Structure 1
Amino acid sequence: MTAGSETRRVQLHSDVALAARVVPTHYPLETFIAVNPLAGLEGMPFEQALQRAADLYGIGGTLGEQAFRGLYRDGRISDGDLDRVLAQRYPNLADAPDLHLGRDVRPLELL
């Protein structure tokens, strides 16, 4: 075995080991997730793992804006759902005083 072929073999082994850690097993399922698509990226913050998965696999980690708007329009996402999530994400705004903009507006409504 030449030094060049040994180097390629070591590199291939390294690439396969990395792929085995990062690339989850996917099955042709259409209605539920059988395997975490972010498997191998659990050590990253969620948003960073989504971006890395998008870079690696060419996929989106969340629904697009139009899909969310459709779910809201269909009643699957309610105003209460949005209020709870925004209050959780921006806890300081939940107790902030209303703004007077021709009518009283809660700060969370502006989001």
Structure 2
Amino acid sequence: MEARATAKYVRISPRKARQVVNLIRGKKAQEALVLLRFIPKKAARLVYKVLQSAIANAENNWNMDVDKLIVSRAYVDQGPTWKRVHPRAFGRAYLIRKRTSHITIVVSEAEEGK
């Protein structure tokens, strides 16, 4: 059994968010929460909230044991890009891309042998 949580249209570049998500994949859920508290990146705060939500979903919706949960899957997909224009010299325009992300975290109970 697995529980998931998703944050969509998060205002951070997927490349930056993937750096943080790669650190917690496969770890115990409680260990991942502690790890995220001490990573000095904006993405860590956003991923922390999604992981908390996934743990709460597992506990309340699926009656899973919180102490046995592991982060089985965690990935970041690219969301829509907001395009903005920055004026430049001689009437030119420079395109600014404000990227968004969809962060998904799936937690499941660890097997007895692990």
More strand by share: 2
Instruction: Sort the TM-score into its range (normalised by shorter chain).
Output: under 0.3
Q: Which has the larger radius of gyration?
A: 1
| Structure 2 length-normalised TM | 0.25
More helix by share: 1
